[in-house]
């Protein structure tokens, strides 16, 4: 069995970014991945602006101002945001508002709370401002011709705002990754159908489709495939035609009714199988031929137990899909946190334990860590990455990966 780090490294090394790209409106680009750098065509802000409501002045005109020797200046112009500013005449002040253009000649802004307007319209200042005070310089945020968003960036709301701030109405993004998914198991039924003896509802279909949607994939759901080798092979051939990845759930173990692995070997290749992790050991990776074209669709086979499929998706399929989409940094953030429980015996495999954060900032462990107990994934806030053969003591610092990191 492969160690989890080695398995993930192999997956990511094999992933090749989808070549096709699209041009989309910036307003519609949330969670898409940039296919090209975004370079700013302008400085931001494009001119010197005031960061306060107040008065634009020449520092030299207020030399010597103090509490006992106020200096009063006439107001020569009023500059709201979005309006042009005229050069500031010497010996005058300009009424100015936040975000407005600082007039040529002015080298400081005095906030309005530090000025006093007299009945004759003149404004008095009780201190000399420092040069540049309350002025946001041209290009303080972004310099013209600088790369503000590199290719491979997954576009967050704030990234869309940044692109818009330099005038980008459209963005070049990678085409969504196309995923075909199907499920094996004669025991599987859909909610709403009668549940005969020995049958179970197909919860994995709902979990995995939602996770794929969260990653922005185009999903083709091929449904539940009978536990037969011929049916599995035919579905693999159909799935390979127009998809980047074929994702299956169930049938990758070594039982007589587990047909996915031999079907993939007949229609393509298996290059990795079985990982030293708990839950989720029987994970398979390979590829399926696309007819006689010489090309292949990637294949990942997940185990059928609901917690196993959930955890292996988050830890392996998610980063693989992000890498196919062109995302460079696919690793989730890992936090060092205190275990408020003890686990007397470690497993020989790398364990991923469902835990949640308690009110004192430590971690509590879900009492039943079985791979069939889906309740643990709803109760928990994330996974404790526990090394092989490691017992956990109360108060020990452990590695914790929040679900929020594994789903972004």
Give me the mean pLDDT over the 67-93 stretch. 94
Distance CA 31, CA 215 (A): 8
Give the 3-state DSSP-derived string for 76-112, with helices as H, strands as E and coil as C: EEEECCCCCCCCCCCCCEEEECCCCECCCCCCEEEEH
Give me the mean pLDDT over the 257-278 stretch. 91
Give me the mean pLDDT over the 75-87 stretch. 97
Write phi, then psi, for 218 (nearest 5 degrees): -90, 115
pLDDT tens figures, 299-351: 999 999 999 999 999 999 999 999 999 998 999 999 999 999 999 899 999 99
Distance CA 182, CA 204 (A): 10
* Residue 293: predicted pLDDT: 83
* Residue 93: predicted pLDDT: 98
* Residue 165: predicted pLDDT: 96
A 10 A CB-CB count for 167 gives: 12
Q: For residue 279, is the peptide bond before it cis, meaning its omega torsion is within 30 degrees of 0?
A: yes
pLDDT band with cut points at 50, 70 and 90 for residue 119? confident
Q: By three-state DSSP, how is residue 313 classified?
A: helix
* Residue 69: predicted pLDDT: 84
Whether the predicted pLDDT of 257 surpasses 70: no
Whether the predicted pLDDT of 407 surpasses 90: yes
**Poorest-pLDDT segment among 216-225, 255-264, 272-281:** 255-264
Question: Considering the chain, what percentage of its residues have pLDDT values greater than 70?
Answer: 99
- In the chain the first and final C-alpha atoms are separated, in Å, by 29
Distance CA 95, CA 93 (A): 7
Is the CB of residue 59 less than 8 Å from the CB of residue 151?
no
Task: Return the closest-CA partner of residue 7 out of 349, 283, 253.
Answer: 283
* Residue 281: predicted pLDDT: 86
Mean of the per-residue pLDDT values for the chain? Answer: 95
**Poorest-pLDDT segment among 57-71, 73-87, 101-115, 329-343:** 57-71
pLDDT band with cut points at 50, 70 and 90 for residue 256? low
| H helix or E strand, kind and range, residue 338 | strand 335-338
Give the distance, in angstroms, between the CA of residue 6 and the centroid of all CA atoms in the same chain. Answer: 23
Whether the predicted pLDDT of 254 surpasses 70: no
User: Domains (ranges, CATH) in the chain?
Assistant: 4-19+175-324 (3.40.980.10), 21-44+140-174 (3.90.105.10), 49-136 (2.170.190.11), 335-406 (2.40.340.10)
Ramachandran quadrant class, 116 (left: phi over 0; alpha: psi -120 to 50; beta: rest): beta
């Amino acid at each position: 069995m492969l160690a989890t780090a080695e398995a993930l490294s192999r997956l990511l090394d094999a992933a090749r970014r989808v070549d096709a790209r699209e041009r989309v409106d910036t307003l519609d680009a949330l969670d898409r991945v940039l296919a090209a750098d975004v370079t700013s065509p302008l400085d931001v802000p494009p001119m010197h602006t005031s960061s306060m409501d107040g008065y634009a002045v020449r520092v030299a005109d207020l030399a010597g101002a103090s509490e006992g020797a106020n200096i009063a200046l006439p107001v020569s112009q009023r500059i709201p945001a979005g309006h042009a500013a005229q050069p500031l005449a010497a010996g005058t002040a300009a009424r100015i508002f936040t975000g407005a253009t600082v007039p040529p000649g002015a080298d400081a802004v005095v906030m309005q709370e530090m000025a006093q307007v007299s009945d004759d319209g003149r404004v008095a200042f009780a201190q000399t401002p420092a040069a540049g005070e309350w002025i946001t310089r041209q290009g303080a945020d972004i310099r013209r011709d600088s790369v503000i968003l590199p290719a491979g960036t997954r576009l967050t709301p704030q990234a869309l705002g940044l692109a818009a701030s330099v005038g980008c109405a459209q963005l070049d993004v990678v085409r969504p990754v196309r995923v075909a998914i199907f499920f094996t198991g004669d025991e599987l039924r859909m909610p709403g159908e009668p549940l005969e003896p020995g049958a179970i509802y197909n919860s994995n279909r709902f979990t995995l489709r939602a996770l794929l949607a969260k990653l922005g994939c185009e999903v083709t759901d091929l449904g539940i495939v009978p536990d037969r080798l011929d049916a599995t092979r035919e579905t693999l051939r159909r799935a390979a035609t127009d998809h980047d990845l074929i994702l299956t759930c169930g049938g990758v173990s070594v039982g007589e009714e587990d047909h996915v692995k031999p079907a993939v070997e007949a229609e393509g290749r298996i290059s990795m199988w079985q990982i030293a992790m708990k839950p989720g050991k029987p994970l398979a990776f390979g590829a399926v031929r696309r007819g006689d074209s010489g090309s292949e669709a990637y294949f990942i086979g997940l185990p059928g137990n609901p917690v196993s499929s959930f955890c292996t998706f988050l830890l392996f399929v998610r980063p693989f899909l992000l890498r196919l989409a062109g995302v460079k940094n696919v690793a989730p953030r890992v936090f060092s946190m205190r275990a408020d429980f003890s686990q007397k015996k470690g497993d020989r495999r790398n364990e991923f334990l469902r835990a949640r954060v308690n009110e004192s900032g430590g971690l509590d462990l879900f009492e039943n860590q079985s791979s069939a107990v889906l309740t643990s994934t709803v109760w928990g806030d994330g996974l404790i990455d526990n090394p092989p053969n490691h017992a956990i003591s109360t108060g020990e610092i452990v590695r914790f990966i929040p679900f929020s990191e594994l789903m972004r």
